[in-house]
Amino acid sequence: MAAETAQALTTGGADQRPRHVAIIMDGNGRWATERGWPRLVGHRRGAERVKQIVRACPDLGVNWLTVYAFSTENWKRSTEEVLGLMKIFRRYIEREAEGMSAEGVRLRFIGGRERLDPKLQALMASIEARTAGNTRLNLTVAINYGGRDELARAAARLAQKVARGEVVQPTEDDLAACLDTAGHPDPDLVIRTSGETRVSNFLPWQAAYSEYEFTPTLWPDFTPDHLAGILDRFGLRERRFGGL
């Protein structure tokens, strides 16, 4: 503890707060299975948790929150689970968008959209437009998101810019400007719930220098208090970014 405190003093102190937190919300299925319930019950409970965490963020000093809702690999699950997840997502944004907007939340989505239902795509675009002026919390939902897919789509966009002569020698900034997250700050902290210690294709470019926190808590059990505890400990970390 003394060593940690000393380190905090040399790295900005315990009041260093992450501005952008990204969360791999994992463990819904296990949470339900442990109780003998269908996996979708866990996903529904998980969506309730998202609401609470979103509400808690501004008071915890978090201005950007990115959550992983559905990966490019999650299509491998049963049709029932995939359709159920899509329905929960659609209902969530339909029902919550208005209230979130009133609380100053700007909602955006990352991931490939073409594989989603066209009506859902239209709903997502209209919510993004409606909340574009909000600044209290930037909430980004990753849906049909995969980091490798995002990088491949970004590379294709960049190639078009090169072909048009808009870019000559592509730089890191040129590629970043072609990602779904163009204009977003990189996450300071990535949290994964449920005890799995892998990244599962989440923000490989953007999280290159993020801090990681792995917690055994399953997502439906993850409360604003858990988040507050993790944010407090974040202040003790030393971030060097390759320097000394």
**Residue 90 annotated as binding?**
no
DSSP secondary structure code for residue 219 in this structure: G
Query: Of all helices (H) and strands (E), which one includes residue 107?
Result: strand 105-110
Please report how close the Cβ of residue 230 comes to ligand IPE at its closest, in angstroms: 17
In angstroms, what CA-CA distances link 4 with 152, 223, 244? Answer: 41, 25, 17
Q: Mark whether 232 is an active-site residue.
A: no
Query: Of all helices (H) and strands (E), which one includes residue 95?
Result: helix 79-102
Q: Quick check: 26 binds Mg ion (CB under 5 A)? A: yes
Q: Quick check: 68 binds ligand IPE (CB under 6 A)? A: yes
Please report how close the Cβ of residue 156 comes to ligand IPE at its closest, in angstroms: 24
**Residue 194 annotated as binding?**
no
Residues 6+ apart with CB under 8 A from 113: 121, 124, 144
Q: Mark whether 26 is an active-site residue.
A: yes
Residues 6+ apart with CB under 8 A from 59: none
Q: Quick check: 74 binds ligand IPE (CB under 6 A)? A: yes
Among 200, 214, 217, 236, binds ligand IPE (CB under 6 A): 200
Rounded to whole angstroms, the Cα distance separating 90 from 129 reads: 17
Among 45, 62, 71, 89, binds ligand IPE (CB under 6 A): 71
The residue range among 62-70, 93-101, 162-170, 181-189 that interacts with ligand IPE, by the rule CB under 6 A, is 62-70
**Residue 200 annotated as binding?**
yes
Q: Of ligand IPE, Mg ion, none, which one does residue 64 interact with (CB within 5 to 8 Å by kind)?
A: none
Please report how close the Cβ of residue 190 comes to ligand IPE at its closest, in angstroms: 12
**Residue 162 annotated as binding?**
no
Q: In this structure, is the dihedral angle defined by the CA atoms of residues 105, 191, 187 and 25, taken in order, positive or negative?
A: negative
- Backbone torsions φ then ψ of 222, nearest 5 degrees: -85, 120
Q: Quick check: 28 binds ligand IPE (CB under 6 A)? A: yes
Angle between helices 118-130 and 79-102 (to 10 degrees): 20
The residue range among 68-76, 106-114, 127-135, 148-156 that interacts with ligand IPE, by the rule CB under 6 A, is 68-76
Query: Can you give the binding site for ligand IPE, defined by CB under 6 A?
Result: 24-30, 68-71, 74, 85, 194, 196, 198, 200
Active site residues: 26, 74
